[in-house]
Amino acid sequence: MKKLSALLMTILMLNVLAVSAQIKTPVKWSYAAKKINDKEAVVLIKASIEKGWHIYSQNIKPGGPVPTSFTFTKSADYAPVGKTAEPKGINHFEKVFDMNVVYFENEAVFQQKVSLNKATTNIKGTIEFMVCNDHECLPPDEISFNVPIK
């Protein structure tokens, strides 16, 4: 009986550890493109953020959280025009960083204008971002994207 109890306790503990070790992914990214004409397009990069979590603006002062950033892969087919535009965020003082920061909740759509040297291409790059809630921040993450222009 003691062996059975020990075995059940071990299985229960392993299940608890497995559940607590699950990777949190409170931000889902989606992409689209809108052609303005044969020479220009706008790439739309949308962050869908789970309730209670937020990501940060691209414009964060040093000493704060990791800002969201976009890096576009160099290509002869296209070139980014200007900086990536972002929506108006929430300006809030965060004690942990001892500074005002701007962040986004629920969703944020970023826009990047590109000049096209080819009628159809794929806009590629990476996004680096940090996501936090009121209790924790996850380590910065970097994901790749590939947006077709047709």
CATH number at residue 136: 2.60.40.1250
The answer, as to whether pTM is greater than 0.75, is yes
Cα–Cα distance for residue pair 41/35, rounded to 1 Å: 4
Report residue 21's pLDDT band, with 50, 70 and 90 as the boundaries: low
Does residue 85 belong to any structural domain of this protein? yes
**pLDDT for residue 4 is more than 80:** no
Query: The domain containing residue 84 runs over which residues?
Result: 27-149
Does residue 2 belong to any structural domain of this protein? no
Number of domains in the chain: 1
Does residue 102 belong to any structural domain of this protein? yes
| C-beta of residue 146 within 8 angstroms of C-beta of residue 93 | no
Nearest 5°: the CA angle 135, 139, 11 is 75
Does residue 100 belong to any structural domain of this protein? yes
**pLDDT for residue 10 is more than 50:** no
Does residue 11 belong to any structural domain of this protein? no
Does residue 59 belong to any structural domain of this protein? yes
Mean pLDDT of 39-48: 98
For residue 14, the number of C-alpha atoms closer than 13 Å in the C-beta half-sphere is 6
Does residue 14 belong to any structural domain of this protein? no
